[in-house]
Amino acid sequence: MILQINVNSEKPLYTQIYESILLGIATGELAPGASLPSVRQLGGELGVNLHTVNKSYRLLAQDGFVIINKKKGAFVAMDFSIDKNGIEDLRNALTILLAKAHIKGLSLEETQTLVQSIIENFTKEA
């Protein structure tokens, strides 16, 4: 897994790590059951504080994408089923993103094309 962060970004480092791992799962680069680097190893590779990596892993676990075993480390979850609350969380996050697109002037067709192309990237790489 190649994970890149931008230390000059306004986005927090833990968010960048979280999103990079999430994209790795979505594209199939990280398969269900795959082992993630240890917090110490990833922190060393990225040159970031161990607490930053730990926070990313905890958030991924909280959202059901990663399983953390204190003795064996972190692994990509095997099941990504979603419940009613999860669907509502996704709806809320997507609503904000679509509001930004609307405010910036994207037409319905442009927005649909953009969403479709992103989804196709996930399905063809997985």
pLDDT of residue 126: 47
Share of the chain above pLDDT 90, in %: 83
Six-digit token string for 42: 């990833």
Map out the domains of the chain as residue ranges.
Answer: 13-76, 84-125
Mean pLDDT value of segment 112-118: 94
pLDDT at residue 111 above 60? yes
Which of helix, strand or coil describes residue 114? helix
CATH of 13-76, one of 3.40.50.740, 3.30.230.70, 3.40.1080.10, 1.10.10.10: 1.10.10.10
Q: What is the 3-state secondary structure (H, E, C) of the chain?
A: CCCCCCCCCCCCHHHHHHHHHHHHHHHCCCCCCCECCCHHHHHHHHCCCHHHHHHHHHHHHHCCCEEEECCCEEEECCCCCCCHHHHHHHHHHHHHHHHHHHHCCCCHHHHHHHHHHHHHHHHHHC
Q: How far apart are CA 82 and CA 70, in angstroms?
A: 25
Write the pLDDT tens digit of every residue in 50-86: 999 999 999 999 999 999 999 999 999 999 888 888 8
